[in-house]
Amino acid sequence: MYTWNDIEQHIAACSHCPLSQTRHLPVMGRGDHNADIMLIAEAPGEQEDLKGLPFVGRSGRILDELLEDCSLRREEIYITNILKCHPPGNRNPKEEEKESCFPYLKYETFLLKPKIIVCLGRVAAQRIISPDFKITRQHGTWTYQKDCAMTAVYHPSAILRDPSKLEITKRDFREIVRKREELAVEY
């Protein structure tokens, strides 16, 4: 049985795919290991690669704005990515990279046992919720797997490209907090 520390050490030493040759630092998930909400994004960007932390660049500032709007704090949730290493030039992750990194996400999810998984953007939603997930039509909708409610919202970098998505995504995040309250009553 792996611990959080074991996973961190495996990721730090990982050389399963070529991204390990080009990354500066691997980016492990961060946050509360007892969180009921897990955010899963795509892959670290340039700033994240340099600092070894998720969402510390421009999209991190958008994420902070979304969290603040619904009174969530980073310290009370858990934020991670499908890929732990930065794909050069911010290109989309390749299938083989997603596959070789996926066991880390599985362990993180197993240890955390979140009640709510929020996919940030299409790439995460298609890997976690459904391969044909359409982020434009289906963001903010819910599916349930075992004891976990799953949804997807626009990725913060999509909001940077199209600021009209900010308000919609704030609404989706408020709904996530509402869902957490609803689930807390049921448990």
Contact 143, 150 (CB under 8 A): yes
Residue 44 touches ligand URA, criterion: CB under 6 A: yes
Interface with ligand URA, residue 119, by CB under 6 A:
no
Q: How far from chain centre, in Å, is Cα 20?
A: 20
Q: Considering the rule CB under 6 A, would residue 45 count as an interface residue with ligand URA? A: yes
Considering only 26, 29, 54, 87, the residue that binds ligand URA (CB under 6 A) is: 54
- Tell whether residue 169 is a contact of ligand URA (CB under 6 A): no
Q: How far apart are CA 10 and CA 82, in angstroms?
A: 15
Using CB under 6 A as the criterion, what x/- string covers residues 66-85 for binding ligand URA? ---------------x----
- Give the CB-nearest residue to ligand URA: 41
Q: What angle do CA 48, 173, 87 make, to 5 degrees?
A: 25
List the end-to-end C-alpha distance of the chain, in Å, as a whole number.
Answer: 27
Under rule CB under 6 A, residue 42 binds ligand URA: yes
Q: State which residue, 81 or 169, has the beta carbon closest to ligand URA.
A: 81
Instruction: State which residue, 36 or 42, has the beta carbon closest to ligand URA.
Output: 42
Contact by Cβ (8 Å): 151, 116: yes
Contact 115, 176 (CB under 8 A): no
Which residues of the shown chain bind ligand URA in the complex (CB under 6 A)? 27, 41-45, 48, 54-55, 59, 81
